[in-house]
C-alpha cells in the first residue's frame, strides 16, 4: 500500500516571510514590521520589507512551483494587508493581490490552501490589547469574513491558525518573536483561550459564508515523543509523553489540541497549573464555540524527543548522543516523527491529517555550475517521507504533505541566516534558482511517492 491516489503534494510559505511590499498599496503595519525594525531583535537587524519580493514576483514564483510539479500551495493571508487597522476599512488593493494570486495558482493547476493567520498580527489590534483582549476573537472573525467573501468562490481549502503555541509563547512569554513581550503564565493562558476562540469563530464564519463547500482545518506544531526502542513500555511512554498536558509546561501538546478537537482543556494540565490557570476566563458556551467540527488536522513537524520508559516517572527524555545528526539550525534529525505523531493524533482525534509543514535549513549556495546541490535536503526528505509512508500503510489517514518552504525566506528572528527553501533566493538580486531537491521532489510527486 502506498499514498492514496488523491494524495496532495505541496509546499508552503507565509505572507510576512516572502511578500515584502511592507508599506505598499495601503498595507497596515503588523507586529512583525514593528519588531523587526527594533534594533537587536533579529539577526543582522533583518526585516521583511522586501523579503523575497513575492508581492511583485508572484507570477514568476508560481511558474517555478508549476515547474517543480507541486499540486498545492499553502499560503497565508496578511491580516493588515486586508484590514490595515485590523477592523473597519478594507484595503481593496490588498484583496486584489490575493485574488490575482489565487487566479494565477489555479491557472497553473495548483490548488491554494489558505492559512488565515500566520503571526503577522495587525499592530493596531495589538495596541488594543491583542490576544489579551477577548474581543480579538470577534475582530478575527470579521477579518475572516472579508477574506471568505472575496476568495471562497474559488478557494475551498482553509486553515484557521498556524502554530498558535509559537506565536503566543515565543512572542508573548519568551519574547524572542514579535511582539517581544514577556507576560505572566496567567496572561499566557488568557491569550491561549482567546486564540482558541478566534479559531472557533473563524470556522463558524467559513462554514456560514463560504460560496463553495470546502474543508477547514487547524495547524499547530505538536512536539512528538519517539520511543527509544520497540519495547512496549517505551512505545507507551512515548505516546503518553506526546499526549500529556504537563510534559513541556505551556508547550505541552494537549493544551493546543484538546480544546479545539475535544472541547476541553487537559485535566492533567489543569491540575498541574491550578494556581496559574484563570478558570474565570471560560464563559458559558466558550468550549463549544472553540470545538467546531473540523475536516482535518494540519500538523507542522520539525522536532521531537526520544523517550524511554522510567518506572518512577513514567518516562524520561533520552539525552542526544554526542555529535548527533542535526540541521543548520541544530535541530535533531529524527525522521520517525512523521510516523509516530500522525499515528498518535489520528488514534486520539480520528481526524484526517495533513503534514502542513516539514523541512530543514541548510547552508545552501549556488555552485560554479549555476545549480544548488542540496543533497542533504534530498536525503532528509527521503527519510522523513518514508516514515510518513509507513504510517499510511498502517492505516493512518494522511491526506497530504507540504514541504516547508517553497523558497528561501525571512526566517523570523533568524532573519535571512537560514535557508529552508526548495527554491534558492538571492536576496540582493532576487534571482530564483530551483535546487536539486526541487527536481527530486518533482519525481516523488510524479510517482505519487512510489520511488521512496
Give the active site residues: 163, 357
Q: Are 281 and 203 in contact (CB under 8 A)?
A: no
17 marked as part of a ligand binding site:
yes
β-strand pairing of 305-310 with 314-317:
antiparallel
Match 488594543 to its residue by C-alpha cell: 128
How far is 386 from 384, CA to CA, in rounded Å?
Answer: 5
The H or E element that residue 378 is part of is helix 375-393
Give the DSSP per-residue string, 291-353.
Answer: S---SEEEEE----EEEEEETTTEEEEPPPPTT--B-TT--B--TTHHHHHHHHHHHHH---E
Residue keyed to cell 493588515: 80
404 is in an annotated binding site: yes
The stretches of 223-262 forming alpha helices (DSSP H) are 232-242, 253-262
172 is in an annotated binding site: no
47 is in an annotated binding site: no
CA 397 to chain centre: 19
Are the C-beta atoms of residues 219 and 115 closer than 8 Å to each other? yes
Burial of 205 (0-12, 13-18, 19+ CB in 10 A): buried
Give the sign of the dihedral formed by CA 39, CA 43, CA 45, CA 49: negative
Distances (CA, A) of 245 to 269, 310, 337: 4, 18, 19
How far apart, in whole angstroms, are the C-alpha atoms of residue 109 and residue 438?
17
430 belongs to an annotated ligand binding site: no
- Binding-site sequence positions for substrate: 17, 118, 162, 302, 404, 411-412
- Binding-site sequence positions: 17, 118, 162, 302, 404, 411-412
Amino acid at each position: 500500500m502506498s499514498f492514496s491516489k488523491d494524495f496532495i503534494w505541496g509546499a508552503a510559505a507565509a505572507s510576512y516571510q516572502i511578500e515584502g511590499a511592507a508599506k505598499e498599496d495601503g498595507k497596515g503595519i503588523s507586529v512583525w514590521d514593528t519588531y523587526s525594525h527594533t534594533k537587536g531583535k533579529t539577526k543582522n537587524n533583518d526585516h521583511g520589507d522586501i523579503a523575497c519580493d513575492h508581492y511583485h514576483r508572484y507570477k514568476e514564483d508560481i511558474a517555478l512551483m508549476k515547474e517543480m510539479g507541486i499540486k498545492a500551495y499553502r499560503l497565508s493571508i496578511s491580516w493588515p494587508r486586508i484590514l490595515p487597522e485590523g477592523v473597519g476599512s478594507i484595503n481593496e488593493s490588498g484583496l486584489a493581490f490575493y485574488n490575482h494570486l489565487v487566479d494565477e495558482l489555479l491557472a497553473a493547476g495548483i490548488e491554494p490552501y489558505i492559512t488565515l493567520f500566520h503571526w503577522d498580527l495587525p499592530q493596531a489590534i495589538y495596541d488594543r490589547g491583542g490576544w489579551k483582549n477577548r474581543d480579538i476573537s470577534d475582530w478575527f472573525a470579521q477579518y475572516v469574513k472579508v477574506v471568505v467573501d472575496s476568495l471562497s468562490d474559488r478557494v475551498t481549502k482553509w486553515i484557521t491558525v498556524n502554530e498558535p503555541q509559537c506565536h503566543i509563547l515565543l512572542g508573548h512569554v519568551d519574547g524572542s518573536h514579535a511582539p517581544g513581550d514577556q507576560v505572566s503564565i496567567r496572561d499566557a493562558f488568557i491569550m491561549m483561550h482567546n486564540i482558541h476562540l478566534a479559531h472557533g469563530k473563524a470556522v463558524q464564519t467559513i462554514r456560514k459564508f463560504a460560496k463553495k463547500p470546502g474543508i477547514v482545518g487547524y495547524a499547530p506544531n505538536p512536539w512528538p515523543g519517539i520511543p527509544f526502542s520497540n519495547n512496549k513500555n517505551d512505545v507507551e511512554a512515548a505516546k503518553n509523553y506526546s499526549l500529556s498536558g504537563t510534559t513541556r509546561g505551556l508547550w505541552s501538546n494537549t493544551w493546543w489540541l484538546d480544546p479545539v478537537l475535544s472541547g476541553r482543556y487537559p485535566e492533567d494540565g489543569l491540575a498541574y497549573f491550578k494556581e496559574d490557570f484563570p478558570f474565570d476566563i471560560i464563559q458559558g458556551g466558550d468550549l463549544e464555540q472553540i470545538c467546531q467540527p473540523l475536516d482535518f488536522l494540519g500538523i507542522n513537524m520539525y522536532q521531537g524527543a526520544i523517550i524511554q520508559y522510567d518506572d518512577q516517572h513514567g518516562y524520561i527524555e533520552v539525552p542526544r548522543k554526542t555529535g548527533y545528526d542535526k540541521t543548520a539550525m541544530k535541530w535533531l534529525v529524527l525522521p520517525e516523527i512523521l510516523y509516530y505523531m500522525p499515528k498518535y493524533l489520528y488514534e486520539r482525534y480520528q481526524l484526517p491529517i495533513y503534514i502542513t509543514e516539514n523541512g530543514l535549513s541548510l547552508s545552501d549556495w549556488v555552485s560554479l555550475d549555476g545549480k544548488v546541490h542540496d543533497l542533504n535536503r534530498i536525503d532528509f526528505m527521503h527519510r522523513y517521507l518514508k516514515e510518513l509512508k509507513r504510517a499510511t500503510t498502517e492505516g493512518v489517514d494522511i491526506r497530504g504533505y507540504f514541504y516547508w518552504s517553497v523558497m528561501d525566506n525571512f526566517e523570523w528572528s533568524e532573519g535571512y541566516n537560514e535557508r529552508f527553501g526548495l527554491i534558492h533566493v538571492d536576496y540582493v538580486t532576487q534571482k530564483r534558482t530551483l535546487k536539486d531537491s526541487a527536481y527530486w521532489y518533482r519525481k516523488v510527486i510524479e510517482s505519487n511517492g512510489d520511488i521512496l
